[in-house]
Amino acid sequence: MRLALLGCGTVGGEVVRLLHEQAADLAARIGAPLEIAGIAVRRVGRDRGDLPVDPALFTTDPLGLIKRDDVDVVVEVVGGIEPARSWLVEALRAGKSVVTANKALLAEDGATLHDAAAEGGADLYYEASVAGAIPLLRPLRESLHGDRINRVTGIVNGTTNFILSAMDATGTGFAEALEEATELGYAEADPTADVEGFDAAAKAAILASLAFHTRVTAAHVHREGITEVTAADVASAKAMGCTIKLLCIAARGVDAAGRETVSVRVHPAMIPLTHPLASVGDAFNAVFVEAEAAGQLMFYGRGAGGAPTASAVLGDVVAVARNRLAGARAASESAYADLSVRPMGEALTRYHISLDVADRPGVLESVAGVFARHEVSIATVRQGPAGGGPAGRGSEAELVIVTHVAPDAALAATVRELRGLEIVRSVASVLRVEGGA
Ligand code: NDP
Ligand code: HSE
């Protein structure tokens, strides 16, 4: 089996290392030795440390490498939409199996890759694209194929989990924690993709597509990042016995006409410390799957970093190599359900709202009236002096309100109206609450 490796950075370098260190075992598992035919990179002369590889294998001509007759499997760990899409389409149409970690591409235009795979009769595997080392896509696309998945809730971005965990545990600043995550190889080349939730949204689209047999793209996913999460939010969460996580939530629902739909969203949310996802710290990922017959399943492990991601890539390489030797191909994409994706405004969620208000008679009634007008039911209200100062008539107070479940659009309209009230000095924080706090 001859491999064309596209990319030799954080992930690609570890793929090379593992291929070298485990050559004998991999050959035994596949039934044929695995050899690297060539490695396409941007800079052939780049210092790659002690990587156990013949420098003559490096090339800056990925297409030339893919088209070589002696290449059976193409492994893409470069990233981005183009030129990666053109390379993979070329490979798949030519009947070469593809293994990729490129979540951005799969979420933006997975359909083109799946179609090319079907056309060329080739395998397209992408376990590493979601949650790094965690075996998750294979269970969704194979083990759970006899079941009906209702909801997938996950922490799928290591960088933001690292940052939020550090902010929660030690009060580390956002910038400092991001720098450390980048040094550890967790963050994307442009960390905006991590902190603004684009990376998690891409993974959410891939998970939703597999879980609900529907083509969901990144454009369908409601996305909010963590750049506006403040130390005060973290403290508020703690006061409620919660922690803040960047969650990806993909769930089945029913629209007003009774048709089955899916909703897919990524945003920071407060979850109770008793929730299974609350204890997922550092750059770890975890995904909680709720299925009709299987019940609740939890997948946990390292979601980012060179070696963990390379482990998932190699698992796919073994699978596609075995298929090729057997003259077989994995089942193709399953998108038969073709459910429509509901807008975020219809998603059912809860809000935690912290307001600085005037402390005088009638304030609570006015605030409660806004919630009532938008048919949002209040679950709890807590009042204390604003900024810890003295309470009492004429001073300011902090109101912390947690709602019951309501459509997101009603909650957002409530917050908009609160912002316009004379008695509301400021809306200090608005966070969604998930998981039964
Ligand atoms: P890096 O930036 O570390 O590596 C990218 C590699 O691609 C480099 O070797 C670079 O060459 C090469 N490259 C870039 N542009 C070109 C080009 N035009 N032609 C040929 N080669 C090119 O990225 P990562 O290893 O971190 O990520 C790779 C993929 O894996 C991405 O899709 C990412 O989203 C995904 N992924 C990453 C994870 C992680 O933890 N890092 C986890 C899960 C998935 P050169 O070495 O010369 O610069
Ligand atoms: N930047 C990504 C993360 C890498 O932090 O999770 C893994 O996909």
In a domain, 228, yes or no: yes
CB 96 within 8 A of CB 119: no
In a domain, 373, yes or no: yes
231 and 367 fall within a common domain: no
320 and 391 fall within a common domain: no
Chain segment 112-168, per-residue pLDDT in tens: 999 999 999 999 999 999 999 999 999 999 999 999 999 999 999 999 999 999 999
145 and 125 fall within a common domain: no
Q: What is the pLDDT along the chain (437 residues), one digit of tens a residue?
A: 999 999 999 999 999 999 999 999 999 999 999 999 999 999 999 999 999 999 999 999 999 999 999 999 999 999 999 999 999 999 999 999 999 999 999 999 999 999 999 999 999 999 999 999 999 999 999 999 999 999 999 999 999 999 999 999 988 888 888 888 888 888 887 899 999 999 999 999 999 999 999 999 999 999 999 998 988 888 889 888 999 999 999 999 998 899 999 999 999 999 999 999 999 999 999 999 999 999 999 999 999 999 999 999 999 999 999 999 999 999 889 999 999 999 999 999 999 999 999 999 999 999 999 999 999 999 999 998 876 555 544 578 999 999 999 999 999 999 999 999 999 999 988 999 998 75
Distance 93 CA to ligand 2 centre (A): 29
**Which ligand is closest in space to the CA of residue 45?**
1
DSSP 26-77: HHHHHTS--EEEEEE-S-TT---TT--S-GGGEES-HHHHHH-TT--EEEE-
* CATH code: domain of residue 284: 3.30.360.10
387: helix, coil or strand? helix
pLDDT of residue 388: 53
CB half-sphere exposure, 353, CA atoms < 13 A: 31
- Among protein residues, the one whose CA lies closest to atom 12 of ligand 1: 7
198 and 259 fall within a common domain: yes
144 and 88 fall within a common domain: no
Distance 99 CA to ligand 1 centre (A): 14
In a domain, 11, yes or no: yes
In a domain, 331, yes or no: no
Q: How far apart are CA 103 and CA 109, in angstroms?
A: 10
Q: How far apart are CA 160 and CA 211, in angstroms?
A: 24
pLDDT of residue 394: 55
* CATH code: domain of residue 351: 3.30.70.260
- The minimum-distance atom of ligand 1 relative to the CA of 80 is 32
Residue type, 24: A
**The model's pTM:** 0.95
163 and 288 fall within a common domain: yes
CB neighbours of residue 230 within 10 Å: 14
CA 123 to chain centre: 23
- Among protein residues, the one whose CA lies closest to atom 4 of ligand 2: 304
Q: How far apart are CA 232 and CA 426, in angstroms?
A: 14
318 and 273 fall within a common domain: no
Q: How far apart are CA 264 and CA 249, in angstroms?
A: 6
Q: How far apart are CA 112 and CA 47, in angstroms?
A: 35
222 and 365 fall within a common domain: no
In a domain, 336, yes or no: no
- Checking DSSP bridges between strand 58-59 and strand 73-76, what pairing results, if any? unpaired
- Angle of the 306-326 helix axis to the 23-30 helix axis, nearest 10: 30
CB neighbours of residue 391 within 10 Å: 14
In a domain, 90, yes or no: yes
Chain segment 278-297, per-residue pLDDT in tens: 999 999 999 999 999 999 99
pLDDT of residue 351: 95
pLDDT of residue 322: 97
**Residues labelled catalytic:** 203
381 and 268 fall within a common domain: no
- Among protein residues, the one whose CA lies closest to atom 1 of ligand 2: 187
Domain carrying residue 208: 139-302
**Which ligand is closest in space to the CA of residue 46?**
1
Tokens 């922690």 belong to 243
C-alpha distances (whole Å) from 121 to each of 97, 142, 177 are 9, 19, 45
Name residues contacting ligand 1 (CB within 6 A).
Answer: 7-12, 40-43, 46, 62, 77-79, 101-103, 128, 132, 185-186, 188-189, 304-305, 309
Q: How far apart are CA 429 and CA 376, in angstroms?
A: 18
Cis bond before residue 83 (omega within 30° of 0): yes
- Tell me the residue length of the chain: 437
Distance 347 CA to ligand 1 centre (A): 35
Site to substitute for ligand 1 among 41, 76, 316, most atoms within 8 A of C-beta? 41
In a domain, 82, yes or no: yes
pLDDT of residue 387: 64
In a domain, 354, yes or no: yes
Q: How far apart are CA 131 and CA 316, in angstroms?
A: 14
311 and 352 fall within a common domain: no
162 and 298 fall within a common domain: yes
19 and 126 fall within a common domain: yes
CB 85 within 8 A of CB 58: no
Site to substitute for ligand 2 among 162, 188, 247, 284, most atoms within 8 A of C-beta? 188
Distance 9 CA to ligand 1 centre (A): 5
Domain boundary, last residue among 292, 326, 360: 326
- Among protein residues, the one whose CA lies closest to atom 7 of ligand 2: 304
* CATH code: domain of residue 41: 3.40.50.720
Give how many domains the chain has, as a whole number: 3
